[in-house]
Structure 1
Amino acid sequence: MKRARQESIPDKIQRYKGVILVVSIPLLLISFVLFLMPRSPAAPKLMTTEDMSTVAVGRKTVPGGLGPRSYAVIFDAGSSGSRVHVYCFDKNLDLVHIGKELELFVQKKPGLSSYAEDPKEAANSLVSLLEQAESAVPVELRQSTPVRVGATAGLRTLGDETAEEILQAVRDLLRDKSSLKSQPDWVTVLDGTQEGAYQWVTINYLLGRLGKKYSKTVGVVDLGGGSVQMAYAISESDAAKSPRTSDGEEKYVKELLLKGTKYYLYVHSYLHYGLLAARAEILKVAEGSSSCVLNGYHGTYKYGGGEFPANGLPSGASFAECRSDVVKALRVDEPACTHMKCTFAGVWNGGGGDGQKNLFVASFFFDRAAEAGFVDANLPVAKVKPSDFEEAAKRACKLNADEAKATYPHVSEGNLPYLCMDLTYQYTLLVDGFGLGPWQEITLVKKVQYGDALVEAAWPLGSAIEVASLT
């Protein structure tokens, strides 16, 4: 049998050309369509460290590494001690971390007013604080970083001449030994209304309330050593009704433009009514032995260059009698009050209103509450009522000096004899002085949560915001 001839490839193509055309034409059409379609985007790359330099931290987006920054160094030269705050801002004046914290905060005792006889030594007491502040600022930014020194009520009590000698010594120190940017008028005694306004700005800034209508802001009471300030936003109509002040006195209302919103800020500072100064005023009423001083204590209270007998009564301290002395010291029924509504010592109360309803109370209020044991010293804020101070005062007034020492281990020896007095004063100041209800809720504040960090609820931040926006 003959072997069949093997068919060539061209012969096969010729024989199956119909089938090939049927199959290839659709394939060519599909390829053409795919060629015309837009290409799919490349897969996204992973974010680098630089891409992630802007991180969200709560209510703000805060640059974490890149972008322009500015620093501000603010000294709070108070009556009970000196403190330095260092802040870092981005271009939007939002706080930026300095290391792990949103501020550098260092303090030491005593305050500048304790060096009344030696102004140079007063200035030298700030050296260690200054060195720590400078170390927190990058070398290349130090010459452009403003440093302010705001002395408060402690220096106000020394008299103009003595206070100015101390301030000049501080100016000389900053000029000769600091690499930071200083100006003579940045070292000054703050008037009380400045201090109160800065404190109001600080707390409302940290809470994210600036830029909102005034009724959404919070009011502030700041109890320092030498003075107490109250500040809260009021309506434009109430501002128009504010009483006129005498020549040389600060006006009751300041107009502030913050985050595009105009605020009418009622603010008043009561000199001689800070916690330490008020002790002297209360002891003046007692004239020797005081129902506010714990039984078993006999001594002399020194404040502002004066000395006041401070002796406990044999019968012991008494909350009711102490409260009577405090009311007299506050001059609650001051006949000079010519306005419809007054706080104490003849001062207009601002009219009240929405801006005062949510009240944040700072400084010595928090400290004494923690020492008396009715708030946790480790927490930044606490919700309390004025009646909590009343109850704490009644407990403290029943003790003698030795019993108080065992009961209140966190109160310093110098403050123990006056614990009944301090707590009674704080209750009376809130209720009789500022007109709060005994069971009205208030917020004791030491620090405020801002993003992922806690920031001191102190006036220097308000000053830093002002100077940073000007430089």
Structure 2
Amino acid sequence: TQSRNSLAAAAHWSCASLSLSLSRPVPQYGIVLDAGSSHTAMFIYKWPADKENDTGIVSQHSMCDVEGGGISSYAENPPAAGKSLKQCLDQAVSDVPKERHPLTPLYLGATAGMRLLTDPQASDRVLSAVTATLKSYPFDFRGAKILSGEDEGVFGWVTANYLLENFIKYGWIGQWFRPKKPTLGAMDLGGASTQITFETQKPIEDPRNEVTLRLYGQTYKVYTHSFLCYGRDQILRRMLSKVMKADGYKTNVSNPCWPKGYQRNFKLQDVYDSPCTAVEKPDSYDPQRSIDMSGSGDTAQCRLHVDSLFSFTSCSFTNCSFDGVFQPGLSGNFIAFSAFFYTVDFIQTVMKRRVASPDDLNTAAEAICSANWTELLLKAPVQKKWLQDYCAVANFVYLVISKGYRFDESSFPNIAFQKKAGDTSIGWALGYMLNLTNMIPADEAGFRKGANYSSWVVLILLFVAVILIALGTAFCLLRSGKQHRTM
């Protein structure tokens, strides 16, 4: 009996010690509001760490889409910008444990929509209203700012490579190590701008496109550029302007990029109330003038209009993408997300077409443009809100990837069109938080271990001792049992 008690006590002590040694640190949380041009999304991140720069891979705990337009759409009514965020912030109060509220960093980053506001006072008023709302919540508010296009591109690149563990990886033996694999390039297509970012060893002739990052003791030379007015929503506005201009700004206009059978009425201000289209305003501009537009589904004419959005003629560098912007030769694999993903996903899931080459993308765009409105509605009734725009957007995606960024038959298969990595959305938000919380240190990672080495030694010795005690006890019990039967 005494031996059994000793064994039970030893086992209990070992389990308690093991539980104590391997108990997970209290989870930490971080919140980022991605204030895009068309809408705002809130992301809540979670990581099991006591120290921010000792973290493993951060995961997305939850997210929330803010109802209504982006905060830039409230330029005439700034208080409404702050109020629009409350529903998602209330969700954050529930999603993050109450005891972690004051320790949870909260950020808001605004992108191209706010960069397009030409009145600095208007953007300041919007940010002030948003800040007042964010400060009223019990989190550790650390600021609301407008990101530059280059920031947006680089943080998206950091997010993708961090999630795919290209910077550093947690090994099964409890060690951090740097995997010997190259980084991925990142392509983002937002509402008002598009970004391309990739690591390169080639000379970057325009210093505005060069960013040097030092992550985990490794230096990365990265090329990045953000094309303002080349986001999905602004492209569609610019397309409407091109169509109306080509038709002499008539009241009744035929749109080759809309499917046959689709028609809509809109006011001129819906198209020209943006710096991206302001230069093409008609001479006698009346913002309230009504336009009746109907689709003609003319693939070739639509392609000409989309192509006219780009300029491929002037380049003062050895190599350019478009609009005279320097771009070195492509290298490595790429991940394309946001509207790049949604467009290709529509082609694959709704149009039932593969996208493995530029030619595939080209023929898919032609198929979308030649389908009438009734056909498209039958294929994807839940996407009714966006169906009329897939012809123009698919043509844009084809042209910007093949003619703009210069992906060809051999390099196009290197692009992975993805929305998420695991359960975490790919975008700039996570990279932004990682940077501002110093969760990716610039110094050498030092092969940090998941537990202290001495702790593992103690645990191993403890297990050996428990096994020896168990074997010894079993031997004694067997021996005493034999003696008892002999007697």
Bin for the TM-score computed over the shorter chain: 0.7 to 0.9
Instruction: Return the letter of the residue paired with 2:374.
Output: D
CA deviation vs aligned residue, 1:118-170 (integer Å, no higher than 9, x gap): 11011110011112123233333322322110111122223233222111101
Look up the match of 1:292.
257
CA deviation vs aligned residue, 1:154-204 (integer Å, no higher than 9, x gap): 2222323322211110111122x2111124xx2011111111111100110
| Contact 1:293 1:311 (8 Å CA) reproduced | no
Look up the match of 2:316.
338
| Contact 1:283 1:310 (8 Å CA) reproduced | no
Using the alignment, how far apart are the partners of 2:15 and 2:403 within structure 1? 60
Using the alignment, how far apart are the partners of 2:129 and 2:367 within structure 1? 45
Using the alignment, how far apart are the partners of 1:72 and 1:280 within structure 2? 35
Equivalent of 1:311 in 293, 298, 311: 293
Q: Residues 383, 51 of structure 1: CA spacing in aligned structure 2 closer, same or farther, 3 A cutoff? A: farther
Look up the match of 2:288.
none
Q: Residues 148, 66 of structure 1: CA spacing in aligned structure 2 closer, same or farther, 3 A cutoff? A: same
Look up the match of 1:401.
373
Aligned runs of 1:430-441 on 2, under 5 Å?
430-438=401-409, 440-441=412-413
Aligned runs of 1:28-427 on 2, under 5 Å?
48=15, 51=18, 66-67=24-25, 69-89=27-47, 90=49, 91=51, 92-95=54-57, 102-110=60-68, 111-159=70-118, 160-175=120-135, 177-183=136-142, 186-211=143-168, 216-235=182-201, 238=202, 241-244=203-206, 251-286=208-243, 287=245, 288=247, 289-296=254-261, 297-300=263-266, 302=270, 305-306=273-274, 311-312=293-294, 316-333=296-313, 335=314, 337-353=315-331, 357-374=332-349, 384-413=356-385, 415-427=386-398
| Contact 1:158 1:305 (8 Å CA) reproduced | no
Q: Residues 193, 44 of structure 1: CA spacing in aligned structure 2 closer, same or farther, 3 A cutoff? A: same
Using the alignment, how far apart are the partners of 1:53 and 1:444 within structure 2? 43
| Contact 2:348 2:355 (8 Å CA) reproduced | no
Cα offset, 1:43, TM superposition? 8.5
Residue 465 in structure 1 maps to residue 434 in structure 2: yes
Cα offset, 1:81, TM superposition? 1.4
Q: Residues 126, 299 of structure 1: CA spacing in aligned structure 2 closer, same or farther, 3 A cutoff? A: same
SS state at 1:349 partner: coil
| Contact 1:292 1:312 (8 Å CA) reproduced | no
Tell me the number of residue pairs that the alignment of Structure 1 and Structure 2 aligns. 390
Computing the radius of gyration from Cα coordinates, the structure with the larger value is 1
Cα offset, 1:113, TM superposition? 2.5
Cα offset, 1:108, TM superposition? 2.7
Using the alignment, how far apart are the partners of 1:244 and 1:399 within structure 2? 43
Q: Which runs of 5+ in 2 are unaligned?
A: 1-8, 169-177, 248-253, 282-290, 441-487
| Contact 2:368 2:390 (8 Å CA) reproduced | yes
Q: Residues 265, 402 of structure 1: CA spacing in aligned structure 2 closer, same or farther, 3 A cutoff? A: same
Cα root mean square deviation, aligned: 3.1
| Contact 1:371 1:408 (8 Å CA) reproduced | no
Q: Residues 50, 429 of structure 1: CA spacing in aligned structure 2 closer, same or farther, 3 A cutoff? A: farther
Cα offset, 1:462, TM superposition? 0.4
Instruction: Return the letter of the residue paired with 2:186.
Output: V
Cα offset, 1:107, TM superposition? 1.0
Look up the match of 1:33.
none
Q: Which runs of 5+ in 1 are unaligned?
A: 1-41, 55-62, 246-250
Q: Residues 458, 141 of structure 1: CA spacing in aligned structure 2 closer, same or farther, 3 A cutoff? A: same
Q: Residues 365, 53 of structure 1: CA spacing in aligned structure 2 closer, same or farther, 3 A cutoff? A: farther
Q: Residues 67, 347 of structure 1: CA spacing in aligned structure 2 closer, same or farther, 3 A cutoff? A: same
Cα offset, 1:418, TM superposition? 1.7
The higher relative CO (CA closer than 8 Å, separation ≥ 6) is in 2
Using the alignment, how far apart are the partners of 1:448 and 1:304 within structure 2? 37
Q: Residues 461, 470 of structure 1: CA spacing in aligned structure 2 closer, same or farther, 3 A cutoff? A: closer
Indicate the structure with greater helix content.
2
Using the alignment, how far apart are the partners of 1:214 and 1:342 within structure 2? 31
| Contact 2:350 2:380 (8 Å CA) reproduced | no
Using the alignment, how far apart are the partners of 2:78 and 2:16 within structure 1? 50
| Contact 2:42 2:66 (8 Å CA) reproduced | no
| Contact 2:344 2:355 (8 Å CA) reproduced | no
Cα offset, 1:244, TM superposition? 3.8
| Contact 2:307 2:399 (8 Å CA) reproduced | yes
Instruction: Return the letter of the residue paired with 1:305.
Output: D
Look up the match of 1:32.
none
Cα offset, 1:324, TM superposition? 1.9
Using the alignment, how far apart are the partners of 1:157 and 1:200 within structure 2? 23
Flag as ranges the 4+ runs of structure 1 deviating above 4 A: 42-50, 211-215, 306-310
Cα offset, 1:210, TM superposition? 1.0
| Contact 1:196 1:230 (8 Å CA) reproduced | yes
Cα offset, 1:304, TM superposition? 7.4
Instruction: Return the letter of the residue paired with 1:392.
Output: A
Using the alignment, how far apart are the partners of 1:107 and 1:49 within structure 2? 43
